[in-house]
Chain A
């Protein structure tokens, strides 16, 4: 059985929670303990927390790894991971940057954004993926005979609360070799706060591409007015891309994380990047497609054309 590694991300000296999910994922692949990899500069504390989850931890420490520039991290990983290994990542903007290229350099297969592991038989790893924004799923057979790089969708596996692994940390920094690369990290820019703060709203009327026309945004605004205090209008990414609403109203992994009492998803299909920004609350989905993926995660669903339905709801609330 191939050796399993898990690349752990961290920020500000704290291990990302994804580490616990990767620990569970690793156990679904192999009964032998997985090795965690922590890369960075001055990451002893991070490696120590990794060792409370994984029995074995590899630490690579170098000034060039101060910021996780994917091109530099890739070189570091190639230096310490033996050919033929299975390497786990949490599917994220970092894995999208690093993992596909890593698979080429390791001569390994690659599968991204998996939402389940069915098991391993010989050199075949069977996983579950989604396509077309979650409308359909597939079982996928991944040949791991030459190793594999696997990116796991966050939330797929329950966090491994076993803790207390009391693992050992091995410092492999001396093996790093040349880390120079043709992409230089400059800085991280944080978006400016806007006039509206959707994270404080108790009821979010959230509109997606199903609103169809910029003019129809008014329908959501009118519902918000009718509800009054505590209500705000938020949206999915295509609405921001089209510049119909400001970026500060976007819910999702690349937007805001919200936790309203009620989330009214109107014409939103329910992609994981969108749902990743909703951390609680009662979800009502209104969508004209009865098979929309959002109906699998919402509490209550309504099959309707929102352009026709929103005014009816606004009317009801206004007359309370």
Chain B
């Protein structure tokens, strides 16, 4: 099975504190620590496990600037054979639909039986996979937390509310968005990364991908971010101050008053 996995380089929420830039139109991105979108790691692991079972190969692709090379290599160190960077000045400012459009160009360059995305990324749209599938006229299932390979089709479990699972049969080729918890993504060590350090990663632009530049980038975007701000919601929590001991004393009182402990 030939599998394409779409991955995104995102700011790591565990490693960063976010501040606005001086113009207020973005967060300060220069010194951020980046990593692979959490969901995409599960998607890559799932692809590798499928290939380990039925053969084939895994390609990881991202639409981003050259800085994303490091995340492609990280996913290749997990076991993806090929990497693909989609990079062009014309892509800057793309909305979800623009990104899906760019990825569609990459799909056209290969012969994939299965295309995986993460269920969502840092911007929380959960949109790119479903859009890509619709553009390609391929069947789609989102939030997949189980995959079983059959003959020309897959049996997939979708996570729905309350931890329930919706089972579907879906014909190949298809697009799936992968939910966390579907597997346990393998660990990547420094040695693994070193092994793929010199593998060539082709970079493709709009022309190579056969993309009409007016459909992508800021020009093609129907969704535009105007500014960034830190949300203020209600009064927020009353913050307890003092030493750990003092705060613990206050919490004990709170537990007595509100939680009924004695």
**Chain A residues within CB distance 8 Å of chain B:** 69-71, 92-94, 96-105, 109-113, 126, 129-143, 146, 148, 181-191, 202-203, 209, 227-228, 230, 237-238, 240-243, 247, 250, 253-257, 260-262, 269, 281-285, 289-291, 293, 295-304, 308-309, 312-313, 315-317, 320
Contact = CB atoms under 8 A, between A and B. Distances in A.
A70 B177 CA distance: 14
A132 B125 CA distance: 11
Nearest to B163: A191
Contacts of A101: 130-131, 133-134, 140
Nearest to A191: B163
B91 to A, nearest CB: 18
Nearest to A94: B160
Contacts of B249: 316
Nearest to B235: A296
A45 B13 CA distance: 45
A245 B222 CA distance: 43
Contacts of B18: 132, 135-136, 291
Nearest to A282: B258
Contact of A131 (B124, B167, B244): B124
B143 A97 contact: yes
B213 interface: no
Contact of A139 (B134, B161, B227, B254): B227
Interface stretch (B51-59, B66-74, B81-89, B151-159): B151-159
Contacts of B170: 182-184
B138 to A, nearest CB: 8
12 contacts: A99-B127, A100-B129, A104-B100, A111-B223, A133-B124, A141-B226, A191-B162, A230-B259, A241-B181, A290-B239, A308-B244, A320-B262
Interface of B: 11, 13-14, 17-18, 27, 95-97, 100, 119-120, 122-131, 133-135, 139-143, 155, 157-171, 174, 177, 180-181, 184, 222-234, 236-240, 244-245, 247-249, 251-252, 254-255, 258-262
Given A71-B140, A183-B139, A187-B167, A104 B131 contact: yes
A92 B177 CA distance: 14
A196 to B, nearest CB: 14
A209 B230 CA distance: 22
A181 B139 contact: yes
B227 A185 contact: no
Contact of B166 (A188, A227, A228, A269): A188
Which of A92, A135, A253 has the most chain B CB atoms inside 10 A of its CB?
A135
A302 B247 contact: yes
A262 B255 contact: yes
A282 B60 CA distance: 45
B122 to A, nearest CB: 5
Contacts of B225: 138-141
Given A189-B164, A284-B251, A237 B142 contact: no
Given A291-B17, A317-B255, A93 B97 contact: no
A93 B161 contact: yes
Given A99-B127, A253-B162, A297-B234, 13 more contacts: A71-B139, A97-B142, A103-B97, A138-B227, A140-B225, A141-B225, A182-B174, A185-B166, A191-B162, A300-B254, A303-B239, A309-B248, A317-B255
Contacts, number: 280
A112 B125 contact: yes
A308 B245 CA distance: 11
B182 to A, nearest CB: 9
Contacts of A140: 223-226
A316 B164 CA distance: 39
B13 A203 contact: no
Question: Closest 5 A-B residue pairs measured CB to CB?
Answer: A100-B130, A109-B222, A301-B237, A101-B134, A104-B134
A38 B127 CA distance: 23
Contact of A100 (B127, B166, B169, B247): B127
A186 B160 CA distance: 14
A141 B168 contact: no
A212 to B, nearest CB: 10
Contacts of B134: 100-105
Contacts of A126: 226
B139 A253 contact: no
Contacts of B123: 129, 131-132
Contacts of A94: 160
A134 B231 CA distance: 8
Contacts of A283: 237
Contacts of A301: 236-240
Nearest to A297: B233
A129 B260 CA distance: 38
B165 A100 contact: no
A183 B125 contact: no
Nearest to A134: B231
A312 B230 contact: no
A71 to B, nearest CB: 6
